[in-house]
């Protein structure tokens, strides 16, 4: 194997740079050249790539985001777009491709694999909604960002006797909301995976208020409802003020945590080794602290289930 390519696609996350660096350094040690396509599948279809040598990936490990940039490309979803991408890969002399991204990007990787091109996917999305890996890249950093923000908001919530609805990202997944609620001692986590009764929650908040507990933190997964609507319902039903904070894209950036730096480095190395070994059409994953490979076919048709012990923990802690 002489030359491999790498790209970052979909929503960016912290740890992508550390992962690119690891893949490049691993490849160079194996005398494999590395190129990086800019802006995900969009750049791939344009043949927009740079050579990645040691210098290109130095000083990037601790930065959030992705220096190769990311994008969403509807055109790549079409057979025509994928054919163009394939042509560009061949023109660039790439013999394999490493794709970092979420479930959409990994579906794209599977499409290229089905067309016969050697691809390895790396799960990278703060949503942690990708099966066959305990954690995706960027999740730990996003959670640390969230708990920092929630801790800050708790201070002002208690000073002003207010209830806060704090909306976190996650698309259709409640993972970030659930874990953040456990880690911050929030009163409620409202997630798409579990039905909730707003009237019941309001009644409980009212009861707490009458017992003298005059502030509350409700962490809302973005896929579970409208933050302002929920806050308005609560305001009408309880005796104290409500406020809404939408954490938004703040969650996705910042220096990666040690966990994400290590995971990124392990995923990057593994992806290159797999391709060099002739194993393709797979995704790297973390399972019981081991780095494993699962066929993309399985990943894409699989479903990430919330961990039972975490759900029980949330229940025991009254969330
Ligand atoms: P993420 O990878 O973070 O889940 P998206 O769902 O937006 O983000 O996907 C990123 C890109 O991956 C899309 O813009 C598109 O180019 C490609 N993609 C998504 N779904 C598919 C699919 N089913 N088939 C082929 N390519 C896809
Ligand atoms: O998939 C990652 C994610 O951050 C989701 O949690 C969120 O819904 C979405 O991307 C936001 O996308 P954009 O950055 O395009 O606004």
| Residue identifier of the C-alpha nearest atom 9 of ligand 1 | 104
What is the model's pLDDT at position 175? 95
By most ligand atoms within 8 Å of CB, the mutation choice from 69, 169, 252 for ligand 2 is 169
**pLDDT bucket at 312, cuts 50 / 70 / 90:** confident
127 is a catalytic site residue:
yes
124 CA closest ligand 1 atom index: 3
- Using the CB atoms, write b or e for 70-105: b if 16+ within 10 Å: bbbbeebeeeebbebbbebbeebebbbbbbbbbbbb
Tell me, rounded to whole angstroms, the distance of Cα 95 from its chain centroid: 27
Q: Is the CB of 127 inside a 6 Å radius of any atom of ligand 2?
A: yes
Catalytic-role residue among 12, 103, 127, 129: 127
Can you tell me the mean pLDDT for 110-115?
98
In which residue are the tokens 């996650």 written?
170
Pairing between β-strand 216-221 and β-strand 188-190 as defined by DSSP bridges: parallel
By most ligand atoms within 8 Å of CB, the mutation choice from 127, 167, 179 for ligand 2 is 127
Size (the chain), residues: 319
What is the model's pLDDT at position 58? 98
Q: Which residues line ligand 1 (CB under 6 A)?
A: 9-11, 41, 72-73, 76-77, 101-105, 107-108, 111, 125
Can you tell me the mean pLDDT for 289-311?
92
Q: What percent of the chain has pLDDT over 90?
A: 92
For residue 225, give the nearest of 200, 195, 201, 186 by alpha carbon. 195
Distance (Å, rounded) from C-alpha 238 to C-alpha 173? 28
Q: Rounded to the nearest 10 degrees, how much is the dihedral formed by the CA atoms of 217, 311, 192, 289?
A: 110
Q: Is the CB of 129 inside a 6 Å radius of any atom of ligand 2?
A: no
Are the beta carbons of 244 and 234 closer than 8 angstroms? no
Instruction: Locate 308 and state its tokens.
Output: 């039972």
Q: Where are the beta strands (DSSP E) in 65-177?
A: 97-101, 119-123, 162-168
| C-alpha Rg value of the chain to the nearest Å | 22
Instruction: Locate 220 and state its tokens.
Output: 């809302």
| Residue identifier of the C-alpha nearest atom 7 of ligand 2 | 171
Instruction: Locate 280 and state its tokens.
Output: 């393709």
Q: Please report which ligand is nearest the Cα atom of 39.
A: 1
pTM above 0.95, yes or no: yes
Q: Is the CB of 252 inside a 6 Å radius of any atom of ligand 2?
A: yes
Pairing between β-strand 49-51 and β-strand 33-37 as defined by DSSP bridges: antiparallel
Q: Where are the beta strands (DSSP E) in 27-147?
A: 33-37, 49-51, 97-101, 119-123
Q: Is the CB of 103 inside a 6 Å radius of any atom of ligand 2?
A: no
Distance (Å, rounded) from C-alpha 245 to C-alpha 72? 27
What is the model's pLDDT at position 173? 94
**pLDDT bucket at 316, cuts 50 / 70 / 90:** confident
Instruction: Locate 24 and state its tokens.
Output: 């490049």
The pLDDT tens digits of the residues spanning 135-188 come to 999 999 999 999 999 999 999 999 999 999 999 999 999 999 999 999 999 999
Question: DSSP state, 102?
Answer: S
**DSSP string for 224-242:** G--HHHHHHHHHHHSSSEE
Å from CA of 237 to ligand 1 middle: 41
Are the beta carbons of 205 and 127 closer than 8 angstroms? no
Instruction: Locate 150 and state its tokens.
Output: 């929630």
Å from CA of 169 to ligand 2 middle: 7
- Partnered with residue 163 across adjacent β-strands are 216, 242
Q: Please report which ligand is nearest the Cα atom of 246.
A: 2
The pLDDT tens digits of the residues spanning 30-70 come to 999 999 999 999 999 999 999 999 999 999 999 999 999 99
For residue 270, give the nearest of 297, 293, 288, 289 by alpha carbon. 293
Task: For each of the domains in the chain, give its residue range(s) and CATH number, in order of start.
Answer: 3-138+256-303 (3.40.50.450), 140-252 (3.40.50.460)
């Amino acid at each position: 194997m002489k030359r491999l390519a790498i790209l970052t696609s979909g929503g960016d996350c912290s740890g992508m740079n550390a992962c690119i660096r690891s893949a490049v350094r691993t490849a160079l040690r194996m005398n494999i050249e590395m190129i990086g396509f800019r802006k995900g599948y969009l750049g791939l279809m344009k043949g927009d790539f740079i050579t990645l040598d040691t210098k290109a990936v130095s000083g990037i490990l601790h930065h959030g985001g992705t220096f190769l940039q990311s994008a969403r490309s509807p055109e790549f979803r079409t057979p025509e777009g994928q054919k163009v991408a394939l042509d560009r890969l061949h023109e660039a002399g790439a013999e394999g491709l490493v794709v970092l991204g979420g479930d959409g990007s990994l579906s794209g990787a599977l499409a290229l694999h089905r067309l016969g091109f050697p691809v390895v996917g790396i799960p990278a999305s703060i949503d942690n909604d990708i099966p066959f890996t305990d954690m995706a890249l960027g999740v730990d950093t996003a959670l640390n960002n969230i708990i920092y923000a929630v801790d800050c908001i708790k201070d002002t919530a208690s000073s002003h006797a207010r209830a806060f609805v704090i909306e976190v990202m996650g698309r259709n997944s409640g993972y970030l909301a659930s874990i953040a609620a456990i880690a911050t001692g929030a009163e409620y986590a409202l997630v798409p995976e579990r039905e909730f009764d707003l009237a019941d929650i309001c009644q409980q908040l009212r009861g707490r208020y009458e017992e003298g507990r005059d502030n509350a933190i409700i962490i809302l997964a973005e896929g579970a409802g409208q933050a302002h609507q929920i806050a308005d319902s609560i305001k009408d039903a309880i005796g104290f003020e409500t406020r809404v904070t939408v954490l938004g894209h703040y969650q996705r950036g910042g220096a990666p945590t040690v966990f994400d730096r290590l995971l990124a480095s392990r995923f990057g190395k593994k992806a290159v080794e797999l391709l060099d070994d002739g194993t393709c059409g797979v995704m790297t994953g973390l399972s019981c602290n081991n780095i494993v490979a699962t066929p993309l076919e399985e990943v894409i048709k699989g479903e990430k289930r919330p961990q039972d012990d975490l759900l029980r923990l949330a229940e025991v802690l009254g969330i």
